[in-house]
Amino acid sequence: MLALLLAVAVPGHARNLYRYTNDKGVTVVDYRVPVEYAHMGYEVLSAEGVVLRVVPRSLTEEEKKVRNAEAELEAKARAEEERLREWDESLLLRYSTIEDIEAARERALGELRIRLSILKSNKRSLKHQVEGYQAQAADLERSGQQVDVARIRAIEDLQSEIESTERSIADRAREIEEVSAAYQRDIDRFEMLLEVVELRKTLLARQKREAEEAEYLVPRR
């Protein structure tokens, strides 16, 4: 049922009409939409009754949550798509073969292993120094002499340096694992790219062959 509240032209310039549904389920056309019905959505009509715009109903809280979740998923998907695109472009720009990536990995790991080796060597040297001071302190105590403060402080400083070096060793070892894993991911991704390239070549070759066969079968006049 349609309740037309204003069926006559309003003097002066034409005004838009609004069509909405009230709480009784009745479709109403008026020059305004009451506040209590605006959230249910409405249509904006020209003076001739042509729909100019549709204002959708307001979403419920649950619908808003669903919409926001969908928008978040779409944003994450777009971000992942961009990340993969940049990754692929970077790989194709830097490498031509899997061997190129493996060589780059060995260079990077070689430098890190050298740093790790130096740290381990420094740790051994520091431990030898501590053991030397500790031996001197033990000799002094056996001879009934008091260990001087400078020697005790030197031992403490060296032990503190050893702890710092051990942390650096752990950091370098972790870095080696991370770099190795990163290069392996590059290798896996590059292999996928090569598979696509080979598949594309195969498809193009097949299309070319089919086109040539089709041309050969066409009767010539």
Q: What is the pLDDT of residues 12-34, one digit of tens each?
A: 345 899 999 999 999 999 999 99
**Greater pLDDT, 79 or 221:** 79
- Name the token pair of 196: 């696509």
Q: What is the pLDDT of residues 51-75, one digit of tens each?
A: 999 999 999 899 999 999 999 999 9
Query: Quick one: pLDDT at residue 163?
Result: 97
Among residues 125, 155, 124, which one has the least CA distance to residue 137?
A: 155
Query: Quick one: pLDDT at residue 12?
Result: 37
Q: What's the predicted TM-score (pTM) here?
A: 0.61
* Distance, CA of 56 to CA of 59 (rounded, Å): 9
Give the pLDDT band (50/70/90) at residue 48: confident
Query: Quick one: pLDDT at residue 221?
Result: 57
Q: 186 exposed, middle or buried (CB, 10 Å; 0-12, 13-18, 19+)? A: buried
Give the pLDDT band (50/70/90) at residue 1: very low
Query: Quick one: pLDDT at residue 126?
Result: 96
User: Do the bridges between strand 51-55 and strand 42-45 make them parallel or antiparallel, or are there none, so unpaired?
Assistant: antiparallel
- Name the token pair of 111: 């430098």
* Distance, CA of 73 to CA of 66 (rounded, Å): 11
* Distance, CA of 135 to CA of 129 (rounded, Å): 10
